[in-house]
Amino acid sequence: AQTVTQSQPEMSVQEAETVTLSCTYDTSESDYYLFWYKQPPSRQMILVIRQEAYKQQNATENRFSVNFQKAAKSFSLKISDSQLGDAAMYFCAYRTVSGGGADGLTFGKGTHLIIQP
């Protein structure tokens, strides 16, 4: 079974600065998908960014980008120009493409991001 590890329970960054959230995963598969979700205090789960393992190029979405290191099984999220609205829990998640098993997402335990004004 796949596992996802977020080693930083909490991170703090000054507004307008850059912060990187780490995520590592364990899998024996060669093809899969990785996601970052944001959960603000409203409890809503919001997709931030996704990466397909067979793509070498790192995904970017405006101020959000990832550093995908397939060999190291690492998938970190970089947030540039941090804004107060970025304060939230961030979850890294893995999805298999094998078609078997639960076919759901395996989530890490989350990183609580605090933005200091």
Partner 1 sequence: NAGVTQTPKFQVLKTGQSMTLQCAQDMNHEYMSWYRQDPGMGLRLIHYSVGAGITDQGEVPNGYNVSRSTTEDFPLRLLSAAPSQTSVYFCASRGGQYNSPLHFGNGTRLTVT
Which pair of structure tokens corresponds to residue 14?
């000054």
Pick the closest to residue 61 from 42, 86, 44 (CA basis): 86
Q: From 18-26, 71-79, 80-88, 102-110, give the range in contact with partner 1 by CB under 8 A.
A: 102-110
DSSP state of 6: -
Nearer to partner 1, 33 or 64 (CB): 33
**E strands in 58-104:** 60-61, 64-69, 74-79, 88-96
Residue 45 Cβ vs partner 1, minimum distance, rounded to whole Å: 4
Residues 24-83 that bind partner 1 (CB under 8 A): 33, 35, 42-45, 47, 50, 52
Which residue in 25, 68, 75, 91 binds partner 1 (CB under 8 A)? 91
Tell which one of 14, 29, 40, 97 touches partner 1 (CB under 8 A).
Answer: 97
d(CA 106, CA 26): 11
Residue type at 89? M
Identify the burial level of 77 via C-beta atoms within 10 angstroms of its C-beta, where 0-12 means exposed, 13-18 middle and 19 or more buried.
buried
Closer by beta carbon to partner 1, 15 or else 52: 52
Which residues of the chain form contacts with partner 1 (CB under 8 A)?
4, 9, 33, 35, 42-45, 47, 50, 52, 91, 93, 95, 97, 102-110
